[in-house]
Structure 1
Amino acid sequence: MSRRALLPMTALLLALPVFLLAACAPGGGTGKVIGGPARAEEPSRVSIPSIGVTSPLIRLGRNGDDTVQVPPPEKGTTAGWYTGSAKPGTPGAAVIIGHDGPRGGKAVFRDLHKVGKGTVINVERGDGKVLRFSVTDTETVDRSAFPTRKVYGHTEEKALRLVTCADEAAPQGRPVESLIVYAELVA
């Protein structure tokens, strides 16, 4: 691949951690959220039975400053699928983002820290097909060292990544850690 072709990808990978700095801050993710029903091959709902999560998915794109959108604060109980990531069940990492803090009620990923290896995550597609993923690992990282390539980078695996904030009592109300859940398709 030429250097010219790598420049846009490098810029994208460098910009992705920036969204995480704003993701759980008050007013974070203020770009326009892409709505509407999912297409047949796109995810429409996520559930994690062991922690009582069931949520429709909104479609998330990119903000005007090229950062990844997060669900708006008034949608704290709803997760979103980043449309720039893989479609669940296809090679690559499908990325689902949600809040962990209470914004008008219990946030969708409030108990995500309770999942461990083997936890089942179900993703329903627009055509009604349910894909079953199994957690392979979890990781809490400082946002300044967010593993962008590991989360968003290409993989041949049919993978799922869930991303949320990890620390409730951060200075100035801005979380400094992210929780990442890694999972692979099993059925």
Structure 2
Amino acid sequence: MDAGRPPVPQPDPAGRDDPPARSRRTRRVAVVFWSALAATILFTLFSGGRTEGDGRDGAPHAPPAATPSAPATAEPAGPDARPGSNHLPRSRPVRLVIPKISVDAPFTDLAIGRAGRLEPPPAHDTNLVGWYAKGASPGERGTSIIAGHVDTATSPAVFAELHRLAKGDRFEVRRADGQKAVFEVDEAQTFDKDSFPSDRVYEDTPTAQVRLITCAGDYDRQVRDYTANLVVFAHLV
């Protein structure tokens, strides 16, 4: 942990099924937590899966700027997704499926490590996504955080094509309770890491939402990190 960096507080998953009407005090506490978590995530999670000794000489794989596209054709949500409801019960995600960009990947839990920072998904597995297991589960009321590498030292990774998602595209999260939570993209934006809008991205929302996050921008070879993050905002349908 860096000198003077306080440990990131652990969120309390209890109470996530409270009614949508919440006190201002509760919302202020939530905003403070997500703002602290944001700094942790941005510092450690989205470094493209590279290590200090990767010795990579060629230009790193980097996605081009996002371009608008027609919404992908998706299967009807069906009863599993509970169309029209604003949340599902809490349940562990088991698989992320994004037909438009051919993603079909299992989940791993992400947690705050001993250094007080969110641990990233293993860099050696290019087809793996992680979710912050102490936060909202996908489909549960609140903002669920799903992260994946854009590449590794040797090849593109699970979110290499995430930049292709656009408003109206749909994807699903298959859950341990057997239900499928279907999400629709609201927007996709790229933010410089130096001016990342933490409050907006990690806001504790009264409805079920998801943020898909990966690296973007240029790869800085000196600091071995990308200069920006791509965030896909989506809501449960």
1:113 has 2:135 as partner: no
Please state how far the C-alpha of 1:103 moved relative to its aligned partner. 4.3
Structure 1 residue 21: Cα displacement: 2.6
CA RMSD between the two structures: 2.4
Number of the residue aligned with 1:89:
139
Give the letter aligned to residue 74 of structure 1. H
* TM norm structure 1: 0.82
1:18 matches 2:40: yes
Tell me how far apart the structure 2 counterparts of residues 79 and 103 of structure 1 sit (CA, whole Å). 17
1:80 aligns with 2:130: yes
2:62 aligned partner: none
Deviation at 1:15, TM superposition (A): 4.5
Structure 1 residue 93: Cα displacement: 0.7
Tell me how many residue pairs correspond in the alignment: 172
- When residues 114 and 52 of structure 1 are mapped into structure 2, their CA distance, relative to the original with a 3 A threshold, is same
Q: Does 1:58 align with 2:108?
A: yes
Counterpart CA distance in 2 for 1:89 and 1:15 is: 20
* Residue ranges of structure 2 left out of the alignment (5+ in a row): 1-24, 53-89
Match of 2:227 among 165, 168, 176: 176
Deviations 1:45-82 (A, max 9, x none): 10110010110000111122222221021123200111
- In structure 2, C-alpha distance between the alignment counterparts of 1:129 and 1:122, rounded to whole Å: 10
Shift of 1:13: 2.2
1:17 and 1:143 in contact (8 A); partners too = no
Q: Deviations over 1:4-33 (max 9, x none)?
A: x95x973662353233233233349xxxxx
Q: What's the secondary structure of 1:20's corresponding residue?
A: helix
- Higher Rg: 2
SS at structure 2 position matched to 1:13: helix
Q: 1:104, CA displacement in angstroms?
A: 4.7
Uncovered stretches (5+) of structure 1, i.e. residues with no partner: 29-39
User: 1:144 Cα deviation (Å)?
Assistant: 1.6
Partner of 1:33: none
User: What TM-score results when the alignment is normalised by the length of structure 2?
Assistant: 0.66
Residue aligned with 2:115, SS: coil
Q: Could you say what secondary structure the match of 1:144 adopts? A: helix
Q: Percent identity?
A: 30
Q: Which amino acid aligns with 1:16?
A: A
C-alpha separation between the residues in 2 aligned to 1:95 and 1:157? 14
Tell me the secondary structure at the aligned position of residue 176 of structure 1: strand
Structure with larger RCO (C-alpha < 8 A, sep 6+): 2
Provide the C-alpha distance between the structure 1 equivalents of 2:141 and 2:37, rounded to a whole number of angstroms. 23
Tell me the distance in 2 between the aligned counterparts of 1:11 and 1:116. Answer: 29
The whole-number CA distance in structure 2 between the counterparts of 1:180 and 1:45 is 19
User: Please, which of 156, 166, 170 is the counterpart of residue 206 of structure 2?
Assistant: 156
3-state DSSP of counterpart to 2:136: coil
Greater fraction of residues in helix: 1
